[in-house]
Amino acid sequence: MKSQLLLFTDIFVAGALSFGGLAAVLSSLQNSVVSHHQLISGQEFSRIYSLAVGAPGPNAIFLSLLGYHIGGPLGACLACLAWAIPTILLLYLIGITGSAQAPGWMKTTRKALVPVVAGLLIAGAMSTARSFSMPTAQWALSLVALLVLVYRPRWNPIWTVAGCALIGALWIR
């Protein structure tokens, strides 16, 4: 039960302080669950995240899998609740205060948070990537794909994915 409560607290804090969804707080969550509380290993964390991302549906399925791995069915339920409660409370507060009618400050806040979310997403990706051992060629291919996606935002990402798959199949074995 202690590990379930630690996981609940970690996810609740991440959910309360996050902007940009689960991917933005992945690094913080990994640090807390793996390094600080040592509930699972870094490899287990990466495997669970990979399984969740590969499954159809929202990326938050990762929290259910993480909770289930650490605390069984109750852990899965607690993980989902921990992620949802901060958002529910925030929406409730906005509803009772009428803050939704303040578009000026909301637009400014959203613009100000863009670089914060970008930084959190990059930190999460880097933290998760450290758990994998990849040859330099795969890192270079990943970097090229990232640059293509950043500098060609109107280009359909499926072509980048297909190109990387082709290069990976032919060049990196």
Residue 132 has a pLDDT of 63
Going by C-alpha positions, the residue among 5, 9, 12 that lies closest to residue 84 is 12
Cα separations in angstroms, 23 against 108, 117, 169:
23, 9, 28
Phi, psi torsion values for 98, nearest 5 degrees: 75, 20
Residue 69 has a pLDDT of 92
16: pLDDT confidence band, cut at 50, 70 and 90? confident
Going by C-alpha positions, the residue among 32, 30, 14 that lies closest to residue 128 is 30
Query: Tokens representing 21?
Result: 């969804």
Query: Tokens representing 66?
Result: 């993480």
pLDDT over 80 at 155, yes or no: yes
Residue 66 has a pLDDT of 92
Look over the chain and give the mean of its residue pLDDT values, rounded to a whole number.
81
Cβ 15 vs Cβ 86: under 8 Å = yes
Q: What is the tens place of the pLDDT at every residue in 38-62?
A: 999 988 988 888 888 877 777 778 8
pTM: 0.60
State how far the Cα of 21 lies from the Cα of 121, in Å rounded to an integer. Answer: 9
pLDDT over 70 at 172, yes or no: no
Burial class (CB in 10 A: 0-12, 13-18, 19+), 96: exposed
pLDDT over 80 at 107, yes or no: no
pLDDT over 60 at 117, yes or no: yes
The domains of the chain are located at 2-101
